[in-house]
Structure 1
Amino acid sequence: MAETPWLTIIGLGEDGPEGLSGASRDALRQAQVVMGPARHLALLGEVPARRIDWPVPFADGLPILHGLRGQRVVVLASGDPFCHGAGRVIAREFAAGEWRSLPGISTFSLAANRLGWPLDSVECLALHAAPLTRLRPHLAEGQRIIVLLRDGAAVAELARFLHELGFGDSRLWVLEALGGSRERITEALAQALPPTEFSHPVAVAIAVAGKGLALPRSSGIGDGFFDSDGQITKRPIRALALSALAPRAGELLWDIGGGSGSVGIEWCLTHPACQAISIEPRADRAARIRTNADRLGADRLQVIDGAAPGALDGLPLPQAVFIGGGLSDALLTDLSARLPAGTRLVAHAVTLESEALLTEWSARIGGDLMRIALSRITPLGRKRGWTAAYPVTQWRVVL
């Protein structure tokens, strides 16, 4: 039989030790040290082990935990430690044989059971350490969402956020201290939240309703979602760019010449694990990209103020690169030397000079060239006619 690891992570509910399994109770009885947030230690009641408050920020507690090797240690976490909890960080820090996890019931499961919501059809978001804007891509009529919030004051912020986006008719269930003696559930519309003081720990269940604009789930969302000074990859061209870039879960994009950030933002919106770095030499546009990304829930987009290729030094290598501005022979030469084989590169050109450059490079290293010519109906006297936009040449190559 395998030896019990020195470190045990226990998922503690709001009912304290009463809801713990037999294995969790045994671990607490045998522990020499119990470490956790002050709130969890208070729920624990009397135990013989020495207590250590886990410091803030969370990372500061890891060196303390390392120093406790050789003793029987219990770390207290909320509910299920691997459901947006401390388990992931601890498992990354320590070898598999050093720790074990004894989970409790997650807040998401408790909330779903209180409301009768099937958890497999509910979006579950941990916003206790993330911006409320991360909700934005999920807001659509009829959707059900459960969010964890940092504290009671964040409930009013959430209600205001929904109301300002046109989703004030959303029904909220404010869920305080689920599973404990202080449990309380308050139901209200987002636009009519009562001036109640809510206490931590708190979650909110949302039945989304209202006339707010939902973000489309396809590539090429409307240009109106982005603030722009005119430097933007327009919707149909952007859709073709995203299709060529072919984002996959967990991948990183370099968006060179970010403009309004539309390509990098849409890349992030394709999957919660996708990330992007936008490189933009103009400070005003870089600031605009940050604003657009924050408003649309793409906080996984990082903005670098500077010009490529110099600004690329030290950045993590991407799986895909989009060149929407700043195209030059020097940039392509740098990228072909810097990037590993298998990197997907997509570049757009509008001028004859930049088109000639892409034609030359496609002849040199291959890839596909495509010319995109779009026309729109515009007034022509008392009638209407087609007005052609500047054609765009797209080059796609796998290095």
Structure 2
Amino acid sequence: MPEHGPASGAVVASDPVPAPGGRAGRDVAAVTVVGIGADGWAGLTEPARAALGAAEVLFGSARQLALLPADPGPDRVVWPSPLLPALPGLLDAYAGRALAVLASGDPMFFGIGTTLVRLLGPDRVRVVPHPSSVSLACARLGWPVEETEVVSLVGRPLELLHRAVHPGRRLLVLGADGRAPAAVADLLTARGYGGSGLTVLESLGGPDERVHHGTAGRWGERTAGPLHIVAVECRADPDAVRLPPVPGLPDDAYEHDGQLTKREVRAITLAGLAPLPGELLWDVGAGAGSIAIEWSRVHPSCRAVAVERDPERAARIGRNAAALGVPGLRVVVGAAPEALDGLEPPDAVFVGGGLTAPGLVDRCWRALRPGGRLVATAVTLESERLVGEAYARHGGDLTRIAVNRAAPVGGFTGWRAALPVTQWTVVKR
């Protein structure tokens, strides 16, 4: 069964590594990466054994290397910890020799195979995979792999799990250590999913394979062995707060001080920003961070920078992002436009606060990539004037958004109007 901790040889695929073409990329011969399971040598295919037999130097964790026969063979090098900074130097040190790397399970699934491809390029890495822990777990549970969502918490915040928790969903959670099942159970219980079924599968495929069952609310502090995966069947309590993946979360899903883009306007704003996987948003004058957060919830690869001049609000954005499953949201504390200096050019920009700051709209427009979208909202006459001037220069669409909500009027019910919002949406051609 695959290991998930970086100290044991598994490298988080999203961690930065030197780009292909660096010194290691020029000097190192092709590297063969062989996946191995908890069943060790006995579980390897003939091509995998042949690849290891042809190696002059073999890299792996101490546990992985111990799974191989003890007879003399290639030089064995135990990965150092931390591995990532040392990896280029290790490859350089053994340049000119036939190299093989042991990886847990499928090397291209949150594994070191992905890191080596990024470092050396795909033409210099040959991968011989083994079934991943996900494949093995689904086989034991009878779950269709394509219907099961995988969340890796190896080197990543626990709060990432929030995005995946929905009634009826099946999840496989990769934990970094034996405390992961209890942490997952606590998060589920706090979210109102205490009745969710938990199955912890340890050492899958090995001689000491074990399976433990329970529910999140009754799991307690039980730990698991270092090689495990947590299977979750999400069951919502009757009063659980449901957080759908579409834009327009309830306003009370956010901690805020009143500086919050309201639900209906937020949904319309996200439609104008039109997030796509892999794109970057600047949320300028972020307030509670709702636009950046809901942009980031669209897809795991969507990125956002929330720019907020007030430190207290900036801290609140971080808490909201964690609670809503996007703890990787970057928060920049500072006043725009100065705070925008040095940021990566965005694919979309939302200006929700500080619109009247001199030069802000022009600064955002210049930074925007071709094909990028800019959305700005105004609620005062002064900000409306600026939006109108920008519309005259760049075109786009102007929309007036008026929301009325039913509210008590004496013993009856009437409509209470919220402040109207003028919204400018434009695409940079």
Which residue is 2:36 aligned to?
A: 12
Which residue is 1:389 aligned to?
A: 418
* Structure 1 residue 12 displacement after superposition: 0.8
The correspondence for 1:208, drawn from 224, 234, 241, is 234
CA distance in 2, matches of 1:194, 1:379: 46
* Structure 1 residue 196 displacement after superposition: 4.1
* Structure 1 residue 298 displacement after superposition: 0.6
* Structure 1 residue 113 displacement after superposition: 0.2
Which residue is 1:314 aligned to?
A: 342
Pairing of 1:249-328 with structure 2 (within 5 A)? 249-328=277-356
* Structure 1 residue 55 displacement after superposition: 1.8
SS of structure 1 residue aligned to 2:281: strand
Which residue is 1:357 aligned to?
A: 386
* Structure 1 residue 341 displacement after superposition: 2.6
SS of structure 2 residue aligned to 1:44: coil
Give the conservation status (yes or no) of the 8 Å contact 1:31–1:72: yes
Structure 1 window deviating more from structure 2 (160-169 vs 288-297): it is 160-169
Q: Which runs of 5+ in 2 are unaligned?
A: 1-28
SS of structure 2 residue aligned to 1:76: strand
Pairing of 1:1-399 with structure 2 (within 5 A)? 6-46=30-70, 48-63=73-88, 64-193=90-219, 196-211=222-237, 212-328=240-356, 329-399=358-428
RMSD (CA atoms): 1.4
SS of structure 2 residue aligned to 1:248: coil
Give the conservation status (yes or no) of the 8 Å contact 1:6–1:71: no
Give the conservation status (yes or no) of the 8 Å contact 1:9–1:75: yes
SS of structure 2 residue aligned to 1:216: coil
Q: Which has the higher contact order (CA 8 A, sep 6+)?
A: 2
Identical counterparts, % of pairs: 45
Q: What does the per-residue CA deviation read over 1:122-154, in whole Å, with 9 as the maximum and x for residues that have no partner?
A: 111111222221111221221111111111112
1:240 maps to a residue whose letter is: I
CA distance in 2, matches of 1:43, 1:306: 53
* Structure 1 residue 334 displacement after superposition: 1.6
CA distance in 2, matches of 1:54, 1:76: 10
Give the conservation status (yes or no) of the 8 Å contact 1:173–1:187: yes
Give the conservation status (yes or no) of the 8 Å contact 2:59–2:77: yes
| Aligned CA distance change for structure 1 residues 60 and 44 (closer, same or farther; 3 Å) | farther
Compute the TM-score of the two structures, normalised by the length of structure 2.
Answer: 0.89
CA distance in 2, matches of 1:287, 1:194: 31
1:10 maps to a residue whose letter is: V
* Structure 1 residue 194 displacement after superposition: 6.1
CA distance in 2, matches of 1:162, 1:279: 31
Give the conservation status (yes or no) of the 8 Å contact 2:349–2:368: no
Give the conservation status (yes or no) of the 8 Å contact 1:172–1:189: yes
* Structure 1 residue 56 displacement after superposition: 2.0
CA distance in 2, matches of 1:272, 1:177: 29
Give the conservation status (yes or no) of the 8 Å contact 2:349–2:364: no
1:236 maps to a residue whose letter is: E
Q: What does the per-residue CA deviation read over 1:47-73, in whole Å, with 9 as the maximum and x for residues that have no partner?
A: 511111112223123221233221111
1:234 maps to a residue whose letter is: K
Compute the TM-score of the two structures, normalised by the length of structure 1.
Answer: 0.96
CA distance in 2, matches of 1:244, 1:197: 46
Corresponding pairs, count? 395
Structure 1 window deviating more from structure 2 (145-154 vs 52-61): it is 52-61
* Structure 1 residue 369 displacement after superposition: 0.4
SS of structure 1 residue aligned to 2:359: helix
CA distance in 1, matches of 2:270, 2:419: 20
Give the conservation status (yes or no) of the 8 Å contact 1:137–1:214: no
Q: Which runs of 5+ in 1 are unaligned?
A: none
CA distance in 1, matches of 2:282, 2:368: 11
